[in-house]
A and B are shown apart, each in its own frame.
Chain A
Amino acid sequence: MKLPPGVSQQDFAAAVKDFRDVVGAEWVFDSEEDVNLYRDAYTPFWQEEEELVASAAVAPDTVEQVQEIVRIANRRRLPIYPISTGRNLGYGGSAPTLSGSVVLDLKRMNRVLEVDERNASILVEPGVSYFEAYKHLQAAGSKLWLDVPDPGWGSLIGNAMDRGGGYTMPMYRNHFEAHCGMEVVLANGETMRTGMGAMPGCKSWQQYKTGFGPSVDGLFSQSNFGICTKMGFWLMPQPEAYLSATVSVPKYNDLIPLIDTLNFLENSAITNGMPFLGAPLTNPGLMPGDEVRRPPAAELMELLATPGGPSDAQLEKLARDKGMGMWACRLQYYGPPEVIRAQWAYSRKKFEAIPGATFSEPELLEMPLTPEQIAKVHKVVFGVPNLDIFFIGARSETVPQPSDGHIWFSPIIPRTGEEVLRAQRVINQAAVELGLPGVPFPAVGTYWIRSFMFLYGFPIIKDVATNKKNRESFRKLITIAAENGWGEYRTAPAYQGDIMATYSFNNHALLRFHETLKDAVDPNGIISPGRYGIWPKHLREGRRKP
């Protein structure tokens, strides 16, 4: 068992005994067998000395127990690492950022505290998963939709705190921005409520985000300044209908006006669902991840294998020969049928300015969907939690050699066609030079309005040499991306320090500000040391990346 630096066996044992007194022996885990269940199943350090592992875990059931655990940890200077459902796979899972930390497992705190049907909000504890919240809403006959990320077993709070995203309307699919009010246990054991929750008896905690004075909610996301024990979210009223239609454009450089038009339509809220953007040659239906389910056509593979790669004209010709656009964008709309038909008609008119643009017939679905319909649709677009995304990496006809997990390299890039194509060229060249699979077409994440993410997946294999090589490659990509002004939005603990180091304006002024805050609000450095590159004073030396 690994103890955290500076903590004696005696202090550790005393803390574990105190934890048992607080939560009951059943909910303190310190046997090797139980602690192993807190390993990160997708760690890039599997079977290596550097793997981040816990020393024990404690699972409280109430806020008061969390407070007591924090006080004990403070007395013993013992680092604790809160997790919500611990399903942050690909971003660290349930393992701590500092080996030897005690995982504070909040899964048992899984109560839906309030659903406000009239104002479309929900208040939950950290252990509530999307599956559980969905079940709760369904059982109550609610007409409210959740916005769900790909794997439905994640926590609403955990995903928001890690700044994850979903698939419905922009104001809901950025999960942190969709929150409204939180309760936090601070490192001294006090509870604090943000926004309107700071006013005793206030009834608008889930209705007005910023309250009065400095708005501090953002400080608790991707950080280690407190432990969130309650959080409110705005939910989407079930729309009357949903419409989807695709615009295709014929030329390689048509990506530029395609994105400019899309930006205008999204920023004007004329298209209000998540747009899917891509090359139909690799993914005819523009369904996220379909390129993994269905391998590209043989002609495309041949073309991509030509020395020096295909020219723009060759790709355009192949797309034309196959009756496809070079690029396409699938637009989605939520609302009353007559309204979304009009929104699509207007969108179509704007895209018609691109010579040669073609359009699919719009498909309209009335809500609510039947179970038979739900089984066939892209569930997350309709707020239905699921685990379908695990086809990435799971064995199938197109994936004969399954992986043991994955980690995403996903820098934020500007939302222009020029920059998407530049990112594709730069990252493709880097990938080829690093001996990684190339990127013949950009994989663009459209979760956020105003920016794109460039997505590149690294498989995790339980093989030390492969993981070592992939870690070096990942770090190289971080550097190359930063040189081009592209910064990661979120990452696994293995790379959090590397990425924080790239946000270095004015001699790392932002990181130094984080550290000043950390020292002030958690002087003993007990909460999640090292999370997102923020180390407490006593562990900081030598940790900061240049």
Chain B
Amino acid sequence: MMRILGFAMAGLLLTGAGSAWAAGELEAQGREVFAHWCEPCHGDGPTFPGTTALRAKYEGKIEPVLSKRGDLTPDFIKINVRKGVSVMPFFRKTEISDQDLEALAAYLTRQ
């Protein structure tokens, strides 16, 4: 019985490690999606219009650099990508696929 339990525990541990690995992969993919589609506007620096816009909007109360935010939720990210905001247009699925969007959300909501 103990042996069976031991195997089961090992299985759980392996599953957990697999999930962590998969999550790491997803975040890495999300980082690429962010770098390609978002960073040219939302990068960290004075010339990025998206960052400038969020800095003006949040008036210093919230971090304007998206990749440094810790409070974004996956749904918030997905809505903004698919609906657009102000001069930021929405993105088609041939540009950012649903899977890319999952990855982007995983990256921007990473702990």
Contact = CB atoms under 8 A, between A and B. Distances in A.
Main secondary structure of the interface of A (DSSP, over half): loop
Contacts of B89: 41-42, 87, 89, 93, 405
Given A94-B92, A386-B40, A405-B87, A400 B56 contact: yes
A29 B93 contact: yes
A345 interface: no
Interface string A121-136: 0000001000100000
Contact of A391 (B52, B88, B92): B52
Given A394-B87, A395-B56, A388 B92 contact: no
Interface in B55-111: 56-57, 82, 84, 86-95
Nearest to B40: A387
A147 interface: no
B95 A107 contact: yes
Contacts of B87: 390, 392-394, 402-406
A277 B47 CA distance: 22
B6 interface: no
Contacts, number: 88
B50 interface: yes
B93 A394 contact: no
B41 interface: yes
A59 B94 CA distance: 7
Nearest to A38: B92
- Chain B interface residue count: which class? 20 to 34
A86 B41 contact: no
Interface in A31-69: 33-34, 36-39, 41-42, 57, 59
B22 interface: no
A388 B49 contact: yes
Contacts of A93: 89
Contacts of A254: none
Given A387-B49, A400-B56, A402-B53, A37 B91 contact: yes
A243 B4 CA distance: 76
Contacts of A404: 86-87
- Chain A interface residue count: which class? 35 or more
Nearest to B89: A41
A311 B26 CA distance: 63
Interface string B32-58: 000011001100010111101110110
A108 interface: yes
B84 to A, nearest CB: 6
Contacts of A87: 89
Nearest to B57: A395
A105 interface: yes
Nearest to A402: B86
Nearest to A151: B40
Contact of A390 (B37, B50, B91, B92): B50
Interface string A259-270: 000000000000
A59 B54 CA distance: 34
A509 B12 CA distance: 77
A105 B94 contact: yes
Contacts of A131: 36, 40
B94 A375 contact: no
A391 B82 contact: no
Contacts of A59: 94
Contacts of A36: 90
Interface in A117-161: 127, 131, 152-153
A131 B32 CA distance: 13
A87 B105 CA distance: 23
A396 interface: yes
Nearest to A34: B93
Contact of B53 (A94, A108, A389, A395): A395
B86 A107 contact: no
A105 B54 CA distance: 31
Contact of B47 (A29, A108, A127, A375): A375
B53 A396 contact: yes
A302 interface: no
B86 A395 contact: yes
Interface string A312-326: 000000000000000
Nearest to B95: A107
A41 B90 contact: yes
Contacts of A403: 86-87
Given A394-B49, A394-B53, A406-B87, 8 more contacts: A27-B94, A105-B92, A387-B40, A391-B49, A394-B87, A396-B53, A402-B86, A404-B87
Top 6 A-B residue pairs of the complex, sorted by shortest distance between their CB atoms: A41-B89, A390-B49, A107-B94, A395-B53, A387-B40, A394-B53
17 contacts: A36-B90, A37-B82, A37-B90, A39-B90, A41-B90, A42-B89, A89-B89, A389-B49, A392-B87, A394-B86, A394-B88, A395-B86, A396-B53, A400-B56, A402-B86, A405-B89, A406-B87
Interface of A: 27, 29, 33-34, 36-39, 41-42, 57, 59, 85-87, 89, 93-94, 105, 107-108, 127, 131, 152-153, 375, 385-397, 400, 402-406
Interface of B: 36-37, 40-41, 45, 47-50, 52-54, 56-57, 82, 84, 86-95
